[in-house]
Amino acid sequence: MSTVGNPANIFWHENPVGKAEREKLLNQQGCVVWITGLSGSGKSTLACSLGRELQSRGKLSYVLDGDNLRHGLNKNLGFSPESRTENIRRTGEVANLFADAGLICIASLISPYRKDRDACRALLPDKKFIEVFMNMPLQLCEDRDPKGLYKLAREGKIKGFTGIDDPYEPPLNCEIELQLKDGVVPTPHEMAGQVVSYMENGGFLEAY
């Protein structure tokens, strides 16, 4: 009988170069910035703006975009609740590896289910999971509709669309919540600045 895949025959192999050494080399702390929110809330825009801002400060980051991941790592997954959970699980594991490498991993996904986001948080130690909630009104997201998906969902051509006929569970204790200010959407630069300020205050932009 084959024993391939049997956890009893799989052992963790320690690397002689540790995370602290990698972080010292990069002069930053590996972490995950997890941007969650409805489609059209500005997650990808913020992720790109944040990545550019970190780059300008000499900090190494990498963006894991939900749509991009579905072109490769997650291309065999659909949009059922089970597939969405697996989509987030895989992304969380990859994000954790990036953080362990000492990078600032920016994950940008709708990630509608709270338990799935919490499972990703649990992968990282010492508050290295920074959850950013794009708390934008559904009507705003639907008015933007950059991919035309809300229109298709309203017409019944897409089933199980988050915010229309599938729920979005907002974070209960996120580190950062971004929302309208006096009815106006903050600019990507302003929002990225808020995230960077949080990271600066938390010591993420320098090694221990």
Active-site positions? 111
Q: What is the CA radius of gyration of the chain?
A: 18
Task: Count CA within 13 A, CB hemisphere, residue 147.
Answer: 12
Look at the alpha carbons of 153, 154, 156, 157 in this order and tell me if their dihedral is positive or negative. Answer: negative
Residue 76: strand, helix, or coil: coil
Residue 205 in tokens = 């932009």
CA dihedral 133, 46, 35, 90 (to 10 degrees): 160
The burial of 147, by beta-carbon neighbours within 10 Å (0-12 exposed, 13-18 middle, 19 or more buried), is given as: exposed
Report helix angle 114-121 to 81-100, nearest 10: 20
The answer to whether the CB of 12 falls within 8 A of the CB of 78 is no
Q: 108 to each of 20, 97, 132, 154, how far by Cα in Å?
A: 26, 16, 9, 24
